[in-house]
């Protein structure tokens, strides 16, 4: 059997986790695994070993020990030579989880944690990650090697922080750049694994949130990338299997009675997914979940989304009243204000706000959407003028 | 998030150390260029560098005059035109970090080996729409 790159990609993070679990320095272990992968690619060409994982572990460990010896000789620091597993023998499950924690360590900047996670946990190549984030490969290589050094200094004795792991995976999911790698699918794959490893209700909440959003991917934009508002989305194109899975994962998480912000966000996404038409949306419950979300973090973004939901439940006037309590400088404030004013029938104000929202938009798709809305209302205003 | 830093030949507000480069002492131009190269290399090591290019001061306006007709051109540029001298594209974790990099770029040495403290234009690059908008 010839080499299967997918197999290697799936195995290399596990091998790395095992090396780190044995007490190997993270940075050196990662180098050793890369070296073992290169050797595998050439020596498996004709025939892969019967147990590829064991092969990779053996070779990577040998490379690591050789490198450590050379390192010791160079630096004359003998204590680094004696690498013994510390404490009890950890399980492979613990090793893999430890790898997640290391790669999203709080000492790393968000973009470094993202890069290192995709590389060391996701098994992607530097070139693939660089192209996904549209930076030169040399820059991404430096970002990853700096992150590796930081993590090496942290060592193994630091307790993991699940919240930074989840934030990192959410970033991967949410940035969803286009490229040869489907980062959304990658984020879901890794979150699924994290959920299995931890059995934490918030990891379940995050997985449910991703599945429920991903289920609606085809309806959120047109073929050429234009934003389709929720009210106009083709609900028939929603992926009912993903929705069912998302709801199931969410229900299991909620049953544990340890509410967290990802579970709350997933609950809101589930209510949207559950409505057969926009008119059937249970906005009252959505407002209640936003109130819950505010308890986990009172941010202007949550308040903006809550104002939209209040506008649907109690009418645009109430929505605008909620808006009055938010700083108008917050991103998307004008977009929400424009939407509510349009519902009030205040077309001129809405058109002006949409145009202003287009100028302050931070993404191309959003800017285009706001421009289209402004143009639509301005055309309606001209028609009204002509007919009077 | 990506930011574009724009350096101007003309059109930016006047910097504190405002001596034209052709009046600098010998070696000061080299020191200026070295500073810029070193900064680019440093940003590459920090994993934040995307691209950097200097632009010629020469150029012209061009526009189509309809299909089948020769393009209309106008140039060289009038003395009054804003003129971009070059750009650097960076990928950083925060707006604060982008400002920090801009300040470092703005501190490139000019006359007397002193920082020019020139004004730079800092422009956020439009990102992708987030996956979870509502």
Q: Which residues contact A323 (CB under 8 A, 6 or more apart)?
A: A304, A307, A333, A336, A337, A340
Half-sphere exposure (Cβ direction) of A359: Cα atoms closer than 13 Å: 7
CA-nearest of B29, B19, B47, B101 to A115 is B47
Enumerate long-range contacts of A33-40, CB under 8 Å, 24 or more apart.
A33/A60, A35/A59, A35/A60, A35/A63, A36/A12, A36/A60, A36/A63, A37/A8, A37/A12, A40/A3, A40/A8
What are the average pLDDT values for consecutive 10-residue runs of chain B, which has 134 residues?
95 91 91 94 96 92 94 89 94 97 96 95 87 54
For residue B131, being part of any structural domain is answered with no
Domain ranges of chain A: 1-88, 91-178, 199-223+233-293, 299-388
pLDDT of residue A78: 46
**Pick from A134, A272, A367: which is nearest to B126 by CB?**
A367
CA-nearest of B125, B122, B127, B126 to B100 is B122
- Residue A137 and residue B50: Cα distance in Å, rounded? 9
CA distance A50 to chain B (A): 39
Q: Does A209 touch chain B (CB under 8 A)?
A: yes
CB-based contact A121:A13 (threshold 8 Å):
yes
Cβ distance B128 to A363 less than 8 Å, yes or no, reads: yes
Q: Do domains A91-178 and A299-388 have the same CATH topology?
A: no
- Residue A36 and residue A3: Cα distance in Å, rounded? 13
- Residue A119 and residue A113: Cα distance in Å, rounded? 10
- Residue A346 and residue A262: Cα distance in Å, rounded? 36
Question: Which residues of chain B does A133 touch, with a Cβ-Cβ cutoff of 8 Å?
Answer: 91
CATH of the domain at B114: 3.30.70.1060
- Residue A197 and residue A17: Cα distance in Å, rounded? 13
ipTM of the modeled complex: 0.84
Question: Which residues of chain B does A112 touch, with a Cβ-Cβ cutoff of 8 Å?
Answer: 47
Half-sphere exposure (Cβ direction) of B118: Cα atoms closer than 13 Å: 23
Q: Which two tokens stand for residue A240?
A: 């009912």
CB-based contact A266:A292 (threshold 8 Å):
no
Containing A54, the helix (H) or strand (E) segment is helix A52-75
Containing B2, the helix (H) or strand (E) segment is strand B2-10
Cβ distance B126 to A173 less than 8 Å, yes or no, reads: no
For residue B129, being part of any structural domain is answered with no
For residue B132, being part of any structural domain is answered with no
- Per-residue model confidence as pLDDT tens digits over A101-148: 999 999 999 999 999 999 999 999 999 999 999 999 999 999 999 999
Degrees, nearest 5: CA angle A268-A270-A274: 120
pLDDT of residue B28: 94
Q: Does B36 touch chain A (CB under 8 A)?
A: no
- CA-CA-CA-CA dihedral for A55, A58, A64, A65, to nearest 10: -160
CA distance A272 to chain B (A): 10
Half-sphere exposure (Cβ direction) of A54: Cα atoms closer than 13 Å: 3
DSSP string, A284-340: HHHHHHHHHHHHH---HHHHHHHHHHHHHHH-HHHHHHHHTTS-TTSTTHHHHHHHH
- Residue B115 and residue B107: Cα distance in Å, rounded? 5
CB-based contact A152:A105 (threshold 8 Å):
no
Question: Which residues of chain B does A173 touch, with a Cβ-Cβ cutoff of 8 Å?
Answer: 131
Q: Does A184 touch chain B (CB under 8 A)?
A: yes
For residue B58, being part of any structural domain is answered with yes
Q: Give residue for tokens 């050793």.
A: A32
Question: Which residues of chain B does A111 touch, with a Cβ-Cβ cutoff of 8 Å?
Answer: 47, 91-93
Task: Encode A191-205: b = buried (16+ Cβ within 10 Å), e = exposed.
Answer: bebbbebbebbbbbb
Q: Give residue for tokens 């399980």.
A: A91
Peptide bond into A58 cis (omega under 30): no
CA distance A257 to chain B (A): 25
> pLDDT tens, position by position, for chain A (388 residues)?
566 778 888 898 999 999 988 888 888 999 999 899 888 888 887 787 888 899 999 999 999 988 888 877 766 544 444 444 444 556 888 888 889 999 999 999 999 999 999 999 999 999 999 999 999 999 999 999 999 999 888 765 566 789 999 999 999 998 766 667 789 999 999 999 999 999 899 999 999 999 999 999 999 999 888 899 999 999 999 999 999 999 999 999 999 999 999 999 999 999 999 999 999 999 999 999 999 999 999 999 999 999 999 999 999 999 999 999 999 999 899 999 999 999 999 999 999 999 999 999 988 889 999 999 999 999 999 998 888 7
Question: Which residues of chain A does B46 touch, with a Cβ-Cβ cutoff of 8 Å?
Answer: 142-143, 146
For residue B43, being part of any structural domain is answered with yes
CA-nearest of A71, A74, A75 to A24 is A71
Backbone angles phi and psi of A3, in degrees to 5: -70, 135
- Residue A2 and residue A41: Cα distance in Å, rounded? 9
Whole domain around residue B98: which residue ranges? 2-124
Residues in chain B: 134
**Pick from B45, B92, B127: which is nearest to A142 by CB?**
B45
State the greatest distance between any 2 C-alpha atoms of chain A, in Å, as a whole number: 91
Top CATH class, A299-388: mainly alpha
Rg over alpha carbons for chain B, rounded to the nearest Å, is: 18
Q: Does A168 touch chain B (CB under 8 A)?
A: no
CATH number of A91-178: 1.10.10.10
CB-based contact A249:A211 (threshold 8 Å):
yes
DSSP string, A111-129: HHHHHHIIIIIT---HHHH
- Residue A284 and residue A214: Cα distance in Å, rounded? 24
pLDDT of residue A245: 97
CA-nearest of A11, A21, A159, A35 to A95 is A21
CA distance B74 to chain A (A): 30
Q: How many Cβ contacts (< 8 angstroms) between chains A and B?
A: 79
Q: Looking at chain A from residue 84 to 143, which residues have their Cβ under 8 Å from any Cβ of chain B?
A: 109-112, 115, 133-136, 138-140, 142-143
CA distance B46 to chain A (A): 6
Q: Give residue for tokens 């804003």.
A: B82
Domain tally for chain B?
1
pLDDT of residue A177: 60
Q: Does B53 touch chain A (CB under 8 A)?
A: no
Comparing alpha-carbon positions, the chain B residue that sits nearest to A114 is B93
3-state SS assignment for residue A202:
helix
Q: Which two tokens stand for residue A253?
A: 């998480």
Q: Does A339 touch chain B (CB under 8 A)?
A: no
- Residue B6 and residue A10: Cα distance in Å, rounded? 43
């Amino acid at each position: 059997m010839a080499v299967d790159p997918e197999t290697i990609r799936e195995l290399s993070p596990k091998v790395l986790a095992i090396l780190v679990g044995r007490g190997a320095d993270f940075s050196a272990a990662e180098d050793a695994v890369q070296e073992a992968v290169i050797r595998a690619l050439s020596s498996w060409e004709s025939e892969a070993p019967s147990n590829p994982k064991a092969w990779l572990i053996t070779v990577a460990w040998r490379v690591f020990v050789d490198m450590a010896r050379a390192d010791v000789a160079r630096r004359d620091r003998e204590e680094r030579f004696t690498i013994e597993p510390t404490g009890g023998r950890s399980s492979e499950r613990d090793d893999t989880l430890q790898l997640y924690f290391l790669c999203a360590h709080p000492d790393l900047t968000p973009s470094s944690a993202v890069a290192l996670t995709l590389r060391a946990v996701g098994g992607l190549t530097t070139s693939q990650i660089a192209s996904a984030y549209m930076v030169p490969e040399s820059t991404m290589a430096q970002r990853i090697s700096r992150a590796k050094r930081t993590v090496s200094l942290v060592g193994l004795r630091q307790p993991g922080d699940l919240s930074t792991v989840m934030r990192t995976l959410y970033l991967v999911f949410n940035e969803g750049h286009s490229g040869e790698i489907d980062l959304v699918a990658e984020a879901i794959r890794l979150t699924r694994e994290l959920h299995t490893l931890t059995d934490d209700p918030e990891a379940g909440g995050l997985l449910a949130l991703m599945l429920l959003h991903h289920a609606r991917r085809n309806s959120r934009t047109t073929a050429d990338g234009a934003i389709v508002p929720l009210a106009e989305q083709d609900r028939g194109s929603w992926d009912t299997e993903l929705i069912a899975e998302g709801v199931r994962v969410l229900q299991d998480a909620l049953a544990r009675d340890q509410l967290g912000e990802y579970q709350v966000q997933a609950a809101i996404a589930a209510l949207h997914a559950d409505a057969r038409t926009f008119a059937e949306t249970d906005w009252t419950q959505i407002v209640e979940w936003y109130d819950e979300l505010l308890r986990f973090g009172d941010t202007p973004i949550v308040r903006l989304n809550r104002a939209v939901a209040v506008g649907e439940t109690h009418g645009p006037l109430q929505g605008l009243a909620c808006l009055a309590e938010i700083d108008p400088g917050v991103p998307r404030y004008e977009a929400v204000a424009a939407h509510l004013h349009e519902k009030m029938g205040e077309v001129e104000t809405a058109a002006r706000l949409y145009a202003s929202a287009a100028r302050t938009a931070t993404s191309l798709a959003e800017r285009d959407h706001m421009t289209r809305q402004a143009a639509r209302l301005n055309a309606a205003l001209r028609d009204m003028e002509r007919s009077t | 998030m990506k930011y574009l830093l724009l350096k101007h030949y003309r059109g930016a507000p006047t910097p504190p150390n405002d001596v034209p480069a052709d009046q600098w002492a010998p070696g000061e131009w080299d020191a200026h260029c070295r500073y810029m190269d070193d900064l680019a290399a440093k940003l590459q090591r920090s994993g934040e560098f995307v691209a950097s290019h200097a632009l010629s001061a020469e150029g012209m306006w061009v526009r189509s005059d309809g299909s089948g007709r020769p393009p209309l051109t106008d140039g060289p540029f009038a003395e009054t035109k804003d003129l971009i001298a070059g750009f650097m594209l960076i990928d950083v974790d925060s707006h604060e970090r982008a400002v920090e990099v801009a300040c470092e770029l703005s501190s490139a040495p000019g006359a007397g080996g002193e920082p020019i403290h020139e004004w730079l234009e800092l422009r956020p690059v439009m990102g992708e729409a987030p996956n979870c908008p509502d």
